[in-house]
A and B are shown apart, each in its own frame.
Chain A
Amino acid sequence: MSKSLVAQLPTGPAEPAQRVPTDWTTGAMQGRIRRRYAAERRFRLMGLAAVTLSAGFLAFLLATMLWQGIGGFTETRVTVPVDLGAAKLAVTPAQLDGRGADLALAGAGLEGIVDTSASRAYGKDGDNLLSGGAWLTVREAIKADPSLLTRRATFDLPVASPIDVAYKGKGAPEAEAMVARLTPRGVLSRSLNTGFLDSADSTDPTRVGIWGAFKGSLLTMLVTLLLAFPIGVLSALYLEEYAPRNRWTDIIEVSINNLAAVPSIIFGLLGLAVFLGTFGLPRSAPIVGGLTLALMTMPVIVIAGRNAIKAVPPSIRDAALGVGASPIQVVFHHVLPLALPGILTGTIIGMARALGETAPLLLIGMRAFIAAPPRGLTDPATVLPVQIFLWSDQVDRGFVEKTSAAIIALLVFLLAMNGLAIYLRNRFETRW
């Protein structure tokens, strides 16, 4: 190659013009620096105050709920001597083996015997002392140990709701008097209310349980998640990656944004009209609740999903296309994994909102009184927030702490769900 024409870099800087150096020490300059620091400090303090305030509110909420609700997980029991041997129940040991045991014991008048025993031990209104379901405790004990039928034994039986409330410290006058009478005798005790964790709604606050509503919520959320997540993610992917930009997709985009802002009760009306009215699905069923809430959750997932997909750098798409990945491989190998944390964040928000939703579920019949936990997706069921709503409406004072206890159960559900989602999100998070 002969002499190249390639330009040489200019040599040396041009002579700088004479200029006065900036004086960084003048009063105005110092004032500006001070103001800058003050602004920073102010901003930090405001942020800190905001965080403290919200953390404080949260702590206050949790503390009051725990304080009021923890009693709902316990029950008061009274010691009652029952002389089953003397009562001579007309039940043969053979009857106690089979499925007929419950019927046989009820038919033999076990309930009356337990009530009489209570009256005998604690005076005239002793039978008002016991919960309506107290004799069931005796029944289960007999089934476990038939020899009880031939002797005298003492049982710790759950007390009636007014006594329970009074014993826990805020009852009606006559119940308070009864508790005052019994306490010195040392027959009242507190224990964990296992019934609360494994039964469903009841008219008697000592016999209500959270399991029915918990399972209802679980089934409903399952349906919601299984529908809203895949459909939401696929819609987001389609709209971002494949759909052409035209008037139709603009309309769809606006509709989805509006849908996310529609009051939830409207979705309830829609569910009522479409799922119950048109498709004839059963009332109060988790499947209908799940479908309705999925309609509500989907837009949230779509919006969050689209934003997460948009945030995936185009250079990654180029890189994948550049080595010959097909569009669908680009999406599933690169875009989706990178967008997943953002999608999951949106899903957490949507699902948390669905879990706490009451209004739309009232409309599709989930406010009915349902005394048995649902066994499937089409069984009548209720959900935790509706259960809370129903119990908070009860006049019986025994329901007050049950309401708070149900709120605790709802919060536990929420925390478990979010914890799982956050765990998944962190697992999929890619470090850049």
Chain B
Amino acid sequence: MSNTPPKMTASHVTVHYGTKRAIDDVSIDIDQDEVVAFIGPSGCGKSTFLRTLNRMNDTVASARVEGDIRLDGHDIYAPDMDVVQLRARVGMVFQKPNPFPKSIYENVAYGPRIHGLAQSKSDMDGIVERSLTRAGLWAEVKDRLSDSGTALSGGQQQRLCIARAIAVDPEVILMDEPCSALDPIATAKIEELIHELRGRYAIAIVTHNMQQAARVSQRTAFFHLGTLVEFGRTSDIFTNPRQERTKDYITGRYG
């Protein structure tokens, strides 16, 4: 899409859970200013692959990752890579909204605080306001910042989680089905948000909603049974897929 080198590249990535192979030789790159959608039937390994990109799989004792994943050309599985810093640079929004059981303010301020991103209280206030505004939540919560984050509605919670992820100013945002628990209005808000975030962050989003993938992404990757079946421009995939399996899946004839 552009001439700049990709933000993240994954080449020949294979993931095992114990002896079970969940991802088999997948190569994908994500550009600086694009949104990449991961689609595929349930259990095909989309979440698994997404989680290798910020090493969240490290927390799963049985998971074993092979292959080469680079952020700005640096191998993120290299021994000298600091995982904590990596996760600050590659933020994540989970499928189920998971705000901390703390105040809304504290939810957003937590990341910047542990990374020392704010020099003063007013600095922090600024970060919180900016993040919540960008996540499209500021207007709704600005008068109740000290309420618990868990007291928000599902859609608000998910936007809070997005605000929390962007508060640490990551370079890449990974979203695992961020709208799966949301109604169409909240979904539309989040899609709008993805549009706005695009260009500032490289974004990878897992979704089961074909229309959503078509609306928000520039490129789409179709996974099936742990393999990458097709990866290309979203417009091509949805109008003119090269693989029969892709066509079957997106037309709903799959399975």
Q: Known contacts being A6-B214, A323-B168, is A315 close to B87, with CB within 8 Å?
A: no
Whether the pair A5, B111 counts as a contact (CB closer than 8 A) is no
Within the complex, what minimum Cβ distance (angstroms) separates B177 from chain A? 14
B239 touches which of A3, A244, A325, A326 (Cβ 8 Å): A3
Whether the pair A318, B94 counts as a contact (CB closer than 8 A) is yes
Alpha-carbon separation in the docked complex, A91 to B250 (Å)? 111
Whether the pair B98, A5 counts as a contact (CB closer than 8 A) is no
Q: Mark B176-220, 1 if CB is under 8 A from A, else 0.
A: 000000000000000000000000000000000011001000000
Whether the pair A431, B241 counts as a contact (CB closer than 8 A) is no
Alpha-carbon separation in the docked complex, A245 to B114 (Å)? 30
Across-interface contacts of A431 in B (CB, < 8 A): 101, 148, 150
Whether the pair A315, B238 counts as a contact (CB closer than 8 A) is no
B148: nearest residue on chain A (CB-CB)?
A: A431
Q: Known contacts being A323-B88, A323-B91, is A2 close to B148, with CB within 8 Å?
A: no
Q: Is the C-beta of B54 less than 8 angstroms from some C-beta in chain A?
A: yes
Q: Is the C-beta of B247 less than 8 angstroms from some C-beta in chain A?
A: yes
Across-interface contacts of A190 in B (CB, < 8 A): none
Q: Is the C-beta of B127 less than 8 angstroms from some C-beta in chain A?
A: no
Alpha-carbon separation in the docked complex, A3 to B94 (Å)? 32
Across-interface contacts of A4 in B (CB, < 8 A): 214, 238-239
A315: nearest residue on chain B (CB-CB)?
A: B98
Q: Is the C-beta of B110 less than 8 angstroms from some C-beta in chain A?
A: yes
Query: What is the interface of chain A mostly: helix, strand, loop, or mixed?
Result: loop
Whether the pair A323, B98 counts as a contact (CB closer than 8 A) is no
Across-interface contacts of A325 in B (CB, < 8 A): 84, 110-111, 114
Q: A325-B84, A432-B150 are in contact. List 17 more A-B contacts (CB 8 A).
A: A1-B235, A4-B238, A5-B251, A6-B250, A6-B251, A315-B94, A315-B96, A315-B98, A319-B98, A319-B99, A322-B91, A322-B94, A324-B115, A324-B168, A333-B114, A338-B101, A431-B150
Interface centre among A4, A329, A333 (most CB of B within 10 A): A4
Interface set of B (CB-CB < 8 Å, partner A): 54, 56, 59, 61, 84-88, 91-94, 96, 98-101, 110-111, 114-115, 148, 150, 161, 164-165, 167-168, 210-211, 214, 235, 238-241, 247, 250-253
Q: Mark A303-319, 1 if CB is under 8 A from B, else 0.
A: 00000000001011111
Q: Known contacts being A1-B239, A245-B61, is A323 close to B101, with CB within 8 Å?
A: no
Whether the pair A316, B98 counts as a contact (CB closer than 8 A) is yes
A2 touches which of B56, B92, B239, B241 (Cβ 8 Å): B239
Whether the pair A7, B168 counts as a contact (CB closer than 8 A) is no
Alpha-carbon separation in the docked complex, A326 to B88 (Å)? 10
Q: Mark A134-156, 1 if CB is under 8 A from B, else 0.
A: 00000000000000000000000
A329: nearest residue on chain B (CB-CB)?
A: B114
Within the complex, what minimum Cβ distance (angstroms) separates A320 from chain B? 7
Alpha-carbon separation in the docked complex, A338 to B235 (Å)? 47
Interface set, chain A 305-353, CB cutoff 8 A to B = 313, 315-326, 329, 333-334, 338
Across-interface contacts of B241 in A (CB, < 8 A): 5
A325: nearest residue on chain B (CB-CB)?
A: B114
B209: nearest residue on chain A (CB-CB)?
A: A6
Alpha-carbon separation in the docked complex, A185 to B150 (Å)? 74
Whether the pair A323, B111 counts as a contact (CB closer than 8 A) is yes
Whether the pair A316, B100 counts as a contact (CB closer than 8 A) is yes
Whether the pair A323, B87 counts as a contact (CB closer than 8 A) is yes
A334: nearest residue on chain B (CB-CB)?
A: B100
Across the A-B interface, give the 10 residue pairs with the lowest CB-CB distance, nearest first.
A7-B252, A324-B88, A323-B111, A315-B98, A322-B92, A324-B87, A319-B98, A430-B101, A6-B210, A326-B84
Whether the pair B56, A322 counts as a contact (CB closer than 8 A) is yes
Across-interface contacts of B251 in A (CB, < 8 A): 5-7
B89: nearest residue on chain A (CB-CB)?
A: A324
Across-interface contacts of B88 in A (CB, < 8 A): 323-324
Alpha-carbon separation in the docked complex, A235 to B210 (Å)? 48
A322: nearest residue on chain B (CB-CB)?
A: B92
Alpha-carbon separation in the docked complex, A338 to B253 (Å)? 46
Within the complex, what minimum Cβ distance (angstroms) separates B213 from chain A? 9
Whether the pair A432, B235 counts as a contact (CB closer than 8 A) is no
Whether the pair B100, A5 counts as a contact (CB closer than 8 A) is no
Across-interface contacts of B240 in A (CB, < 8 A): 2
Whether the pair A6, B110 counts as a contact (CB closer than 8 A) is no
Across-interface contacts of A326 in B (CB, < 8 A): 84
Whether the pair A324, B85 counts as a contact (CB closer than 8 A) is yes
Interface set, chain A 115-136, CB cutoff 8 A to B = none
Whether the pair B59, A317 counts as a contact (CB closer than 8 A) is yes
Q: Known contacts being A5-B239, A6-B210, A7-B251, is A318 close to B101, with CB within 8 Å?
A: no
Alpha-carbon separation in the docked complex, A394 to B114 (Å)? 63
Across-interface contacts of A319 in B (CB, < 8 A): 94, 98-100, 161, 164
Whether the pair B247, A323 counts as a contact (CB closer than 8 A) is no
Alpha-carbon separation in the docked complex, A313 to B168 (Å)? 23
B59 touches which of A3, A321, A338 (Cβ 8 Å): A321
B247: nearest residue on chain A (CB-CB)?
A: A5
Across-interface contacts of B210 in A (CB, < 8 A): 6-7
Q: What are 7 residue pairs bridging A and B, where the CB atoms are less than 8 Å apart in the complex? A: A6-B210, A315-B96, A321-B87, A322-B87, A325-B111, A431-B150, A432-B101
Interface centre among B96, B98, B250 (most CB of A within 10 A): B98
Across-interface contacts of A323 in B (CB, < 8 A): 87-88, 91, 110-111, 114, 164-165, 167-168
Alpha-carbon separation in the docked complex, A4 to B214 (Å)? 9
Across-interface contacts of B110 in A (CB, < 8 A): 320, 323, 325, 333
Within the complex, what minimum Cβ distance (angstroms) separates A186 from chain B? 67
Alpha-carbon separation in the docked complex, A264 to B8 (Å)? 60
Whether the pair B98, A318 counts as a contact (CB closer than 8 A) is yes
Within the complex, what minimum Cβ distance (angstroms) separates B46 from chain A? 16
Across-interface contacts of A324 in B (CB, < 8 A): 84-88, 111, 114-115, 168
Across-interface contacts of B247 in A (CB, < 8 A): 5
Whether the pair A5, B250 counts as a contact (CB closer than 8 A) is yes
Alpha-carbon separation in the docked complex, A322 to B150 (Å)? 18
Alpha-carbon separation in the docked complex, A159 to B161 (Å)? 75
Across-interface contacts of B252 in A (CB, < 8 A): 7
